[in-house]
């Protein structure tokens, strides 16, 4: 194989990418997104502030545009996301607890119903934990009186609207074992025991070069042992810029190890990279002085990490 998607498909997995509306108008970016990958996650176009800018008033055109791009390139879609403390519209902040409850359910039902049949998996709840493993006490937590309560309700509501979609909880800093991944594990175990139709856990995987946790595979495996899928959902591996050749080499090692960890787990359906190339990455804007985090450089050329990933996929 010469593409990530062909390499992943040979192992019965997918290789996905985050695509934003800005990429659709960029010929080079959309060529890479349309040829190298077989799964798309909308970068912002399915988030609450975009989809429901006013209470009960839905705007699906940005999300539809991403779905159309994916479909026309034979790619599937991971819906991202339904319930998250961030990128909420202003009107949410003036709701009472019971209004917030019904707003959450109506938002999920409206959005999942619109995209029904077109979404392989939904990140139903995004980033519910603080880094110390406590629940974020956001509007949803407060409205329902607890993390397992609103999360269970959100997943059941999404399932009612599209029973075929895999329903995920997605978070960062849960890739290795530690307080936060233990908290996610306990939540997942509780929800499974309650019969909540949870389908998988998303491990965002925003790594720093040389710091991929050595417990990654074992940690993902314990979630898989609960009967859940475990996906790498937002992979990047950042380094100080300009990138040194040593760090680019380490990145190639890191990314190959991540792919091998996924391939070693039967319930890891695939890996998604966050943004198409180093030129599109969110990293330099959020972590000044860092970048070079993806498999394609600023000119959309494959990097050493691309080659090491292809090798790992070929030996999987």
9 is catalytic: no
Of the pair 135, 282, the CB lying nearest ligand G3I is at 282
23 lies in the binding site for ligand G3I (CB under 6 A): no
**What is the spatial distance between Cα 203 and Cα 176, in angstroms, rounded to a whole number?**
10
Using the minimum distance from each CB to ligand G3I, give the nearer residue, 25 or 117. 25
- Structure tokens given for 5: 């998607």
Footprint (CB under 6 A) of ligand G3I, residues 228-257: 234
Count interface residues toward ligand G3I (CB under 6 A). 8
Which residues partner with 270 through β-bridges? 14
Q: Determine, following the binding rule CB under 6 A, whether residue 87 of this chain makes contact with ligand G3I.
A: yes
Q: Is 21 in the site for ligand G3I (CB under 6 A)?
A: no
Q: Is 234 considered catalytic here?
A: yes
Q: Give dist(CA 81, CA 79) in Å, integer.
A: 6
Which of 68, 2, 77 shows the shortest CA–CA distance to 32?
2
Closer of 3 and 241 to ligand G3I (Cβ)? 241
277 binds ligand G3I (CB under 6 A): no
- Find out whether 311 and 255 touch, Cβ atoms under 8 Å: no
Identified binder of ligand G3I from the candidate list 130, 282, 287, 311, rule CB under 6 A: 282
Binding string, 98-137, against ligand G3I, x = CB under 6 A?
Answer: ----------------------------x-----------
Q: Residue 11 or 127: which CB sits closer to ligand G3I? A: 127
**Does residue 7 contact residue 314 with C-beta atoms inside 8 Å?**
yes
* Residue 153 binds to ligand G3I (criterion: CB under 6 A): no
Structure tokens at 50: 């975009």
Cα separation, 247 vs 241, whole angstroms? 10
Please, which of residues 188-227 interact with ligand G3I by CB under 6 A?
204
Rg over CA atoms, the chain:
19
Question: How far is residue 207's CA from residue 60's CA, in Å, rounded to a whole number?
Answer: 32
- Of 52, 127, 175, 204, the catalytic one is 127
Q: Does 43 bind ligand G3I (CB under 6 A)?
A: yes
Q: Does 75 bind ligand G3I (CB under 6 A)?
A: no
Q: Let me know if 69 is exposed, middle or buried by CB neighbors in 10 A (0-12, 13-18, 19+).
A: buried
* Residues 166, 212, 123: CA angle, nearest 5 degrees: 20
Q: Which residues bind ligand G3I (CB under 6 A)?
A: 43-44, 86-87, 126, 204, 234, 282
What is the set of active-site residues? 127, 234
């Amino acid at each position: 194989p010469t593409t990530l998607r062909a390499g992943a498909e040979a192992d019965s997995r997918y290789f996905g990418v985050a695509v934003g509306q800005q990429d659709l108008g960029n010929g080079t970016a959309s060529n890479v997104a349309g040829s190298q990958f077989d799964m798309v996650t909308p970068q912002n176009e399915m988030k609450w502030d975009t989809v429901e800018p006013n209470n009960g008033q839905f705007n699906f055109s940005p999300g539809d545009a991403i779905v159309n791009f994916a479909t026309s390139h034979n790619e599937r879609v991971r819906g991202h996301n339904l319930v998250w403390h961030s990128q909420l519209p202003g009107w949410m902040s003036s709701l009472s607890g019971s209004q917030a409850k019904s707003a959450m359910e109506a938002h999920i039902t409206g959005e999942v119903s619109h995209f029904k049949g077109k979404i392989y998996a939904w990140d139903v709840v995004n980033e519910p934990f603080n880094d110390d493993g406590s629940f974020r006490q956001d509007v949803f937590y407060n409205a329902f009186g607890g993390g397992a309560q609103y999360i269970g309700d959100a997943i059941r509501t999404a399932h009612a609207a599209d029973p075929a979609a895999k329903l995920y909880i997605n978070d960062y800093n849960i890739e290795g074992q530690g307080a936060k991944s233990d908290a996610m594990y306990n939540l997942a175990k509780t929800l499974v025991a309650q019969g909540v139709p949870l389908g998988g856990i998303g491990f965002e995987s925003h790594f720093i070069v040389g710091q991929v946790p050595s417990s990654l595979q074992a940690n993902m495996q314990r979630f898989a042992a609960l009967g859940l899928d475990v996906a790498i959902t937002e992979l990047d591996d950042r380094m100080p810029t300009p990138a040194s050749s040593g760090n680019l080499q380490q990145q190639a090692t890191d990314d190959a190890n991540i792919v091998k960890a996924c391939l070693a787990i039967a319930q890891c359906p695939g890996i998604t990279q966050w943004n198409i190339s180093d030129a599109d990455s969110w990293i330099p804007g959020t972590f000044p002085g860092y970048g070079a985090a993806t498999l394609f450089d600023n000119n959309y050329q494959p990097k050493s990490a691309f080659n090491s990933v292809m090798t790992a996929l070929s030996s999987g």
